[in-house]
Structure 1
Amino acid sequence: MRPYEKFAVEDASQVGEVRRAAQLLAHELGFDETAAGRLALGVTELGTNLVRHAGGGALLLGVDGGAVELLSLDSGPGMDVQRCLGDGYSTGGTAGTGLGAVKRLADRFDAFSLAGRGAVISARFGAPPAAVSGFSIGAVGLAAPGERVSGDGWGLRARDGHVSLMLADGLGHGPEAADAADMALMLFQRSSQASPAALLEDAHPTMRSTRGAAVAIVSLAAAPAGLTLAGAGNIIGRLISGVRDRSLLTQPGTLGVQIRRLQDNAHDWPEHAVLVLHSDGIVSRWNLEGAEGLLRCEPIVLAAWILRDHCRGRDDATVVVVRRH
């Protein structure tokens, strides 16, 4: 699966590189001149804000369907998002139109910030995300340092009113890990099995032709609210609300190498809770203490915040967040 591209932005001279990469994506996706220009201006505004107001940070570019996802991540002093969205407000002596302009330019926009803990800003340019009845889903993934492809992959399957989600992490990183994750996702999409455990057990023999992968599948239910999970290996699942944080356990093993008898594990889905799945490129012990407001943000903003603060930085890393409507 195609990972996000990450660009360090510590001074204004680095913004041009991100803008050029964004224009290549716009051309690839068939953006017209107006849409490509809006994307370029969004990159310029967010990059400039990072340098002027946050002391630097990173811009991420990703492709989702026919759209470009632009993320701004920093660990600076933070900001009052609502005040900064108003034209004329500035913390840096500028005209104060940057963030408000990006919101107007983008087809979808969301942001979260805390004093002393920086900010995450999401701006989507292009077609809206694929509709999934009853759920909103966002994901962010990075390849291991030095790699162009990621050994992590995730996918959705909606069939006969049932929605399922897979996250796969091919062993190691690089092209062979990516091949393993891609194979797992292909088998997921082709399978007629509704049970996550049964689907994984059916996929296991075919996955032997790859180096193997840690995999989890979650079957999602909006009403009555719940989910069913089965998995093998180090895919971490959490159900998080303002009052609860429940870990969802998978079993030891590696799909395509060795697995035990897998079981479906059913869980209630508390009101206002979000589901978080991530690969082991994210540290397992993290929390949202002091940042519970993230639970009201777009799922991609929460995913990017977790990635920003808890990425190990030496392996592929992917975070998927699901909210029930």
Structure 2
Amino acid sequence: MQETPFCLRVGHLLPYSMSDSNTTDFTNPSTFILLGIPGLEAAHVWISIPFCTMYVIAILGNFSILFTVKIESSLHEPMYYFLCMLAVNDLVVYTSTLPKMLAVFWFNSREIDFSACLTQMYFILIFSMMESGILVAMALDRYVAICHPLRHSTILTNPLVVKIGLAVVLRGSIIILPFPLLARQWLYCRTNVIPQPYCAHIVMVNLACTDTHVSSYYGLFVLFCVMGLDGIFIGVSYSQILRAIFILPTKDARLKTLGTCGSHLFVILAFYIPSLIMSLMYRFGQNVPLHFHVLIANVSFLMPPTLNPIIYGVRTNQIRDRLLRLFTHKGA
């Protein structure tokens, strides 16, 4: 059995060192046991505090984004429609993982049904894939807005935005579907213990006692041919954006135009930097304890959905001003 040396948003497809499990007498268990953070079981309640705080921030922040865009007619533009897609995506990522994680931390509710485990794995993968697609769509919006400002409203029409959103959903659904289908066919005869607080794909690979090369190769294809192309498209878009910005006549005009891309750039960094950190940990941190790998992987996985609404809420004047007026009016 070969581990998969890749990640989709490191934390669900990132390989990490996992202690060898003793072979048991069962095959294809109906339930799995989630350990939470292995080796730190006694501190689960304390560990749950920052995770719960992140969950609350993500829920409040993303719902605030959705509410603000809905009631503010001036925000009915492609940029904010894509931001709403990102907010919904982040809410589903959290909802598919955090409740069970907190149940493990608080109530020691470790059992999870086999089908539920595969479903959770599928949701984690598909919405990570969709987030990458949404970031590409947002890069396209910024490219058209800055490089072709007079044609922005005629190019990115509402019907086109809807089609892009549907394309992002269908792409993620179709491309990720083979992962749970393959995982369902594998034999699991090593152990039913998952050293994580949720069902990550790499964990399922490690638990399988059959050949998983097909899944590994397909994962590499997804990483390089899908996610890689997303990164290339974003890079090319911003190279053209920067080129257009630097030919502007005044420094103030350059800074103002660049500021319209700031939020999106920060969100891109929040998406890719944790993946880079976890990749480096995988390559150079073989002696790092398992509990540290798992803890950092979980934080890296859950941090972007928490940061995204904060970044857009703080850096986007229209959203920040609308929220301030809303709360000021309520407090008056």
Considering only CA atoms, is the larger Rg found in Structure 1 or Structure 2? 2
More strand by share: 1
Which has the bigger relative contact order, CA under 8 A and spacing at least 6? 2
The structure with the greater share of residues assigned to helix is 2
